[in-house]
Structure formats: structure tokens, C-alpha cells
Amino acid sequence: MVQNPKEDLIELRKKIRHSTAHVMADVVTRMFPNVKLAIGPPTEDGFYYDFLTETPFTDQDIKKIEKGMKKVIQRNLIFELHEYSRDEALDLNDNEPLKLEIISEIPKDEKITTYKHGLFEDLCAGPHVESTGKIPAFKLLSVAGAYWRGDENNHMLQRIYGTAFESKEELEKHLDRIEEAKKRDHRVLGKQLDLFSIHDEVGSGLVIWHPKGSRLRGIIEDYWKKKHYDSGYDLIYTPHIGRSNLWEVSGHLEFFKENMFDGMDMEGQDYYLKPMNCPFHIMYYQSDLRSYRDLPMRIGEIGTVYRYERGGVLHGLTRVRGLTQDDAHIFCTEDQIEAEVNSVLDLTDNVLKHFDLKPNSYCLSTRPSKAVGDDQQWQIATESLRKTMESRGLSYEIDDGGGAFYGPKIDVNIQDALGREWQCSTIQFDFNLPERFSLKYIGSDGEEKKPYMVHRTLLGSMERFIGVLIEHYGGAFPFWLAPVQIVIIPIADKHHEYAKNLESKLLSENIRVFSDNRNQRMNLKIREAQLLKIPYMLIIGDQEMDSETISVRIRDDSTNQVMNFDQLLSLVKV
């Protein structure tokens, strides 16, 4: 068997982190005897363990727990695998209510395993390292609340997060990345740069875009629209609400209602805020009789949808309740599928490149055990996705059986400046909605046929994408994307008129500029412009007025360059 170093490293880290979680649980239960255990899995970047306790853990507690863990690691205790019957496992955990709940759901004839080190024993399927001494480097990071099994009707638990690595060097690199991520946190920068805000008075997960944030979003949307018009898409606008019968036909009220806001009674009819744009695009398709000559039909929209996300998962712009999706639906014939998928991937590459991003990985999700659509449809659609990626020389993972019940898909993941991966673009076949809405077109033989329908997003949601961009750039947007591109800083009142004339000339060149004419010291204005991460500062004093020049200071530089207006235009319009 060919060794895969990356997979081997992932497996090693999983073992180390799982083992460290057990060591943490061991120490916590000895330090706090009244604490009850929940679960403690490894994660992509570390591990956590959930505890049922009446008293929240403090920062001081975390330091003591970490100190105790180091002692357990130094003792080099062996991790021993044990096997029990269901009744034996129940006896072993008779004082652990959450463990008893887990055991009660395991089939009666199934053996149950635990791992033990020293006197601590925990329900676990593994894997683990050989002994506690094989945990080279770890760090406890934070504490947060978490509902048991993610259900807000269950107990609120205390979750301790940590991370562990195969060496102290790798741990330090990771901790450095965490510190850098804190500096780039889009929630902090969003406030500092005056881009957006979220208010309890309005509602959790509902974003108010400030003027600078609105300008940023508008730049992105204008670019998106142009790229789509150039790529043969027709863009539409659709309502924010729809009658209940629309969502009944689409299946959303049957399969997605828990993620929808409650209905509104209007004239005896229930209306719902839309959780997705798809049914409205289908209504447009059905607004006229379609022929094979009309296909492929590419319909796009930057449409705001509303989903009831639980309060515990809301996070700035990246997890909201009002999100604006860059949706598109492609209606096509069977022989057009591969060309359309290729076209979507071309557009994805082109758009992401414009934001200094690029696809980092691809995942093909195939048919699950329960699915709509016949075998032939699934095979044709899945093979078209597979062939397209292979023809482009793309390596991809397969999530066998991981597709949605209504069709196979490709997920495109991007990597930001910190090396973090984000799921961004999706190309998703849908066999469900064409069937539910009885979509059809007239084929070249005059017979009615059912079109293939491809749902795709490039950026995902505008809110989440902008949150990713803020952190990717650390708030220092490139010139073309910066909400304010230039600030003019006159040193004294007598320089205001020259600054105003310069501002007018730059505005006529479609440059986003303002003149800071406040009665404040020049150094303060420069400092504030740097905090706002404005790309260029133009300093205007006596020398610049007399010589009709401009002193240009770049965002990340402490020196000034003197140039005339034409030279400035050449600099900023590169």
C-alpha cells in the first residue's frame, strides 16, 4: 500500500488530540468531583470536552487543569482498550447521566469499548496514542457554553477547547496563527473600519451595513453582475416572501421548516420569508413555454433569504439569519451538462482570482441511500461532474453517499491568507424541484422533456464572503476594493481649497476619495487613516500648493513621495 504522508499526519494528530481530551477529562473530574462527563472528540484544529457543571470554569481553573494535565503526561500512563457488554457499561457509568443516555442508544447485543489510563476510564472507540507520554505538545485555549447534543432544550454544558500537535514547533506555529486570526477577526475589524453592525434591537444575525460596508458590498455585487452578464446569465429580482403553497410544492415546509421563520397570516393565507431563491427562479422558468432552443437558460440573482439559525451558532457575518446568496440556476439538456459545469468552474476560477483567492480543494458528493431521481439521472449527472473535473486535471475527494437527496454536487473550497479553508462555491444538481414543479421543455422532436436543473453559488453568501475577505486581507483591501481609496489631509485651513479642488478632480476619475478638513493635527489624521486602512493619504501643505504637487503616503509606508496629478493617477490606476 502506498503511504500518504498527509493522511498519516492527520491520523497521528487525531490520536494525539483524542488522547489529550481524555487526559483533560481525567484532571477535571479529579479537580471538580461534582462535574459530569459528556463527550470529548478531536477536531480539525484541536479537541474539546463537554462537562455538565453548575459552576462555569474560570481562566484560573483552566490554568490549574493544564498544570494537572502536564503531570499526567509526565507519568506516561498506558491507554488500555477494554470491552464491555451493555449492562457492564451501564454499571460502570452509573454516576454519569449523559454517558448513560449514550449507552441507552447502543444496540443491546453490541459490545461497548472504553479506554483507560491510570484510574480514569471513558466510553470511547479510539483511536489513541500508546500512552500519555506520547502527547508531545498541547494547550488549552478557551471555555464556552454548548447545549447537550446541540439542542437548546437540553442541558447547557461547559466546553473546554484545546489543541495538541506532534511537536512543540507545530504547536507554536498554530498558536501564532490563532493570534494572527484574532487580529484579523472580521467582527473587530468590521467595527474598526465602520463597515457593519448587528443590534439586539433589530435581532440577532441581522446585519446593518454602514456606508463604507455598503460601498464595499456594492463594488463586489457590481463586479459579480458584470461577470454574469458577460457569461450569458440573465439576472432577475424576486420577492422576499411567498405563499405557503409554493413552499409546500417545493418541499421546504416538509423538509426545511425548522430552519424557516414562522408564517404570516395575510388575508387568510400563510406567507413565509423565503429560505431559498430556487422556487422563484422556477416560477420564472414556467412563465412561458420553453423550447430546446431556449436552453441552456442561466438565471441568476443576488437574493436575500432568511433562515432561522440557532442563537448558539450565530457568528458575525459568517453565520447570520438574513443572508444574501449569489444564486443561479441553469436549466439545460442532457448533452449540455458537461459544457455548463465547465463554464461554471471557469467563472468560479475567474471570479475568485479577482479577490486574490483560488480553489484549494474539490469534493464530489455522490448519491445517498435515500434519494429522488432515477438511477440513470444520477449516473449521468455524477459522471458529468467527475469527467469535467478530470478533464481539467483537478484532484478531488469523493464523499461517497454524501450528496443531498435531490442530486450530486461539487463543493469548491478556498484557502485564505492564514491557510484556513472555507467552503465557497457549490455546483448542485437538483432532480427534486423539476419533478415537484413538473418542469418541461419542447425537444427538437416536438415531445415534452424534463430539463436538468443545476443550482450553483460562486461566493456562497455575500455576508459570509465579505467576512472571509475582511480576514483574508486583514481589513487592508486592495485599491480596487477599498471603500475609501484615498484621503486628502490638508495641514492647515489655508490648504483646504487646494485639497477640495484635488478631491473634485479625483472624484471625476471615479476614485473614492474624501478630504479630511477637520480642525485636528495632521499626525492624528494620518494615524486615523492608517487605522481605517485607507490605501493612500495625500498630504497638502505650503510646498505642495506652491509647486502644484501632491505628497503621497502609502498605507504601509512611513515615507512620502512627491508627484504631480498625472503621476498620482498612474500610480493608483495600475
Give catalytic status of residue 128 as yes or no. no
Tell me whether residue 90 is exposed, middle or buried, using C-beta atoms within 10 angstroms of its C-beta: 0 to 12, 13 to 18, 19 or more.
middle
Burial readout 336-360 (b: 16 or more C-beta within 10 A, e: otherwise): bbbebbbbbbebbeebbeebebebb
- Cα separation, 541 vs 550, in Å, equals 9
227 is annotated as an active-site residue:
no
* Active-site option among 124, 158, 186, 278: 278
Q: Which of 174, 455, 456, 525 is catalytic?
A: 455
- Residue 157 near residue 172 (C-beta atoms within 8 A): no
The span from the CA of 410 to the CA of 2, in Å, is: 27
What's the chain's Rg over C-alpha atoms?
Answer: 29
CA 506 to chain centre: 36
Choose the catalytic residue: 61, 327, 430, 516. 327
566 classed as catalytic: no
* DSSP state at residue 433: H
Catalytic residue among 409, 456, 495, 525: 409
Has 521 been annotated as catalytic? no
Among residues 18, 186, 212, 307, the one annotated as catalytic is 307
Q: Is 18 a catalytic residue?
A: no
CA nearest to 345, candidates 295, 303, 391, 383: 391
Alpha helices, DSSP H, located in 199-332: 211-230, 244-250, 252-255, 278-285
Let me know if 205 is exposed, middle or buried by CB neighbors in 10 A (0-12, 13-18, 19+).
Answer: buried
Distance CA 267, CA 486 (A): 53
Instruction: Of 572, 535, 565, give the one whose Cα is nearest residue 553.
Output: 535
| Active-site residue, from 274, 329, 495, 512 | 329
200 is an active site residue: no
Q: Is residue 327 annotated as a catalytic residue, yes or no?
A: yes
SS3 label, residue 106? coil
Beta carbons within 8 Å of 97's beta carbon, 6+ residues apart: 36, 52
Q: Which residues pair with 265 in a beta bridge?
A: 270
The residue annotated as part of the active site, out of 174, 228, 281, 325, is: 325
Set of cell numbers at residue 83: 470491552
- For residue 1, the tally of other CB atoms under 10 A from its CB is 3
H or E element in which residue 264 lies: strand 264-266
Q: Which residues are catalytic?
A: 278, 307, 325, 327, 329, 409, 455
